[in-house]
Amino acid sequence: MAHVVVAVDVAAPVGPTWDAITDWPGHGRFAPLTTVRVTTPSATGAGTRFVARTALGPLGFDDPMEVVEWSPPAGGSAGHCVVHKHGRLVLGTARIDVTPRPDGASRLSWTYDVEVAPVRLTRPFAPLVAFATRLGLGRVLRTVARDVERGQAAR
8-63: pLDDT as tens digits: 999 999 999 999 999 999 988 888 899 999 999 999 999 999 999 999 999 999 99
Tell me the pLDDT tens digit for each residue of 59-111: 999 999 999 999 999 988 999 999 999 989 999 999 999 999 999 999 999 99
Rounded distance between C-alpha atoms, residue 106 and residue 88, angstroms = 34
Task: Give all domains of the chain, ordered by start, each with its CATH number.
Answer: 2-53+61-149 (3.30.530.20)
Reported pTM: 0.91
* H or E element, residue 67: strand 59-71
Rounded distance between C-alpha atoms, residue 121 and residue 56, angstroms = 24
* H or E element, residue 84: strand 79-86
Residue 34 and residue 53 in contact, taking contact as beta carbons nearer than 8 Å? yes
* C-beta atoms surrounding 124 within 10 Å: 8
